[in-house]
Amino acid sequence: MAADRTAPQAPVIPFADLAGVADLVRAFPGPDDEAAERARARDAELTKPAGALGRLEELAVWVAAWQAAHPPRAARPLACVFAGNHGIAARGVSAYPASVTEQMVANFVEGGAAVNQLCRNVGAGLSVYEMGLETPTADFTTAPALTDTEVLRAIAFGMRAVEPGIDILCLGEMGIGNTTAAAAMAAALFGGTGTDWAGPGTGVDADGLATKAAVIDQALAFHGAALADPLEVLRRLGGHELAAIAGAVMAARMLRVPVLLDGFACTAAAAVLWKVDPAALDHCKVAHMSREPGHRRLVGAIGQRPLLDLDMALGEASGAVLASGLVQAAVSAHNGMATFAEAGVSTREA
Ligand SMILES: O=C(O)c1ccc[n+]([C@@H]2O[C@H](COP(=O)([O-])O)[C@@H](O)[C@H]2O)c1
Ligand SMILES: Cc1cc2nc[nH]c2cc1C
């Protein structure tokens, strides 16, 4: 399946500043308790020992609660891959040149990337958003990665990517250098040094890993106390695609679409909102545990337990799309199974 390619337009920016973004996050709607209760009640009637479908049962209830609907739906997943370039890539922190970001966008559009095949497998749509690839972020060791206007525009752009009518949103990114940005963001949000959070990314050698840790430490020292504000972490250390992911997470909450988060960079972008309000990611599940070592630490910090653990470290929404198949399985079982009464199966003995 080929991807839709969408060039950045100038979205209407619905906030005056980052404080307005934080206000919206703190005012997020909660889950629909009635839909969740209906899902739990139906689950208790289905022909299986109580709890025997394990986390699939919890997934069906979670989808109902955040869609505010019972029965839950999962037939229409949409994957959104945001692509951005990073000034820090010029510092030798990736195994690949920055030109690969644009080349992989072309590959997504042609249908040749892993995510295209994974989308085909679950019937997901795929939209690829180029976030001004000709304009990388500034090198965050000497300046904020994004200006105020750039970060607000990228958040607003990501918000617009959430199409009404979709059942599940799978978020992912493409951006050479962005595991360094993600590691810096994680260190700023949750403490620790470059060494604690840097990993191989696309496969840097020992020198590359040492460079990564060093640039993260330089960035933490350069930005200092300004990093106490989580949305400043996104602006100063993040990137266009990472801000867009944060915006998409926000819009999905408002539009009642459950979200699957992909690997390290995607989770780091979402973690900014968790730091604003720990309830902000309750409509999101980390889809898989990335092989990138910082991801394990990061998902622990935001209290998540990934659905899958397959030693993947690809990005491009691949793990999120795979996990959407699991959500579809959970919802199919929930909606389609017979109840004990319908099937004439004896219930548990008293
Ligand atoms: O999803 C992950 O956890 C993941 C781990 C390592 C690498 N990646 C992908 O590789 C790119 C970033 O790696 P790097 O080495 O350039 O920082 C970016 O396009 C990501 O989608 C993704
Ligand atoms: C080839 C390649 C494909 C990717 N997909 C997501 N990130 C990527 C990074 C590289 C280098």
Running along the chain, 350 residues long, what does each successive block of 10 average in pLDDT?
67 90 98 98 98 98 98 98 98 98 98 98 98 97 98 96 94 98 99 98 98 98 98 98 98 98 99 98 98 98 98 98 98 98 94
Interatomic CA distance for residues 76 and 122, integer angstroms: 9
Q: What is the pLDDT of residue 350?
A: 79
Q: Tell me how far the alpha carbon of residue 123 is from its chain's centroid.
A: 19
Read off the pTM.
Answer: 0.98
pLDDT value at residue 13: 87
Gap from CA of 313 to ligand 1 centroid (Å): 7
Q: Using a 6 Å cutoff on CB, does residue 231 contact ligand 2?
A: no
| 94 Cα–ligand 1 center, Å | 9
What values do phi and psi take at 284, rounded to 5? -120, 145
Beta strands 77-83 and 125-130, pairing class: parallel
Q: Which residues pair with 79 in a beta bridge?
A: 126, 170
Give the span between the Cα atoms of 57 and 331, in whole angstroms: 9
Out of 130, 150, 292, 316, the active site residue is 316
- The DSSP bridge pattern shows strands 168-174 and 259-261 to be parallel
Report d(CA 86, CA 99) in Å as an integer: 11
316 annotated active-site: yes
Taking the centre of ligand 1 as the mean of its atom positions, its distance from the CA of residue 314, in whole angstroms, is 6
Is the shortest distance between the CB of 324 and ligand 2 below 6 Å? no
Q: Ligand 1 within 6 A of 177 CB?
A: yes
Decide if 115 contacts 319 (C-beta within 8 A): no
Q: According to the model, what pLDDT value does residue 9 have?
A: 59
Among 115, 113, 249, 262, CA closest to 178: 262
What DSSP character marks residue 98?
T
C-beta of 96 in contact with ligand 2 (< 6 A)? yes
Ligand 2 atom closest to Cα of 100?
A: 11
CA dihedral 313, 317, 321, 324 (to 10 degrees): 100
Ligand 2 centroid distance, CA of 113 (Å): 9
212 pocket-lining for ligand 1 (C-beta < 6 Å): no
Q: Is the CB of 222 under 6 A from ligand 2?
A: no
- Number of H helices and E strands in the chain, helices first, is 15, 6
Of ligand 2's listed atoms, the one at least distance from the Cα of 173 is 6
- Residue 239 exposure: Cα atoms within 13 Å on the Cβ side: 33
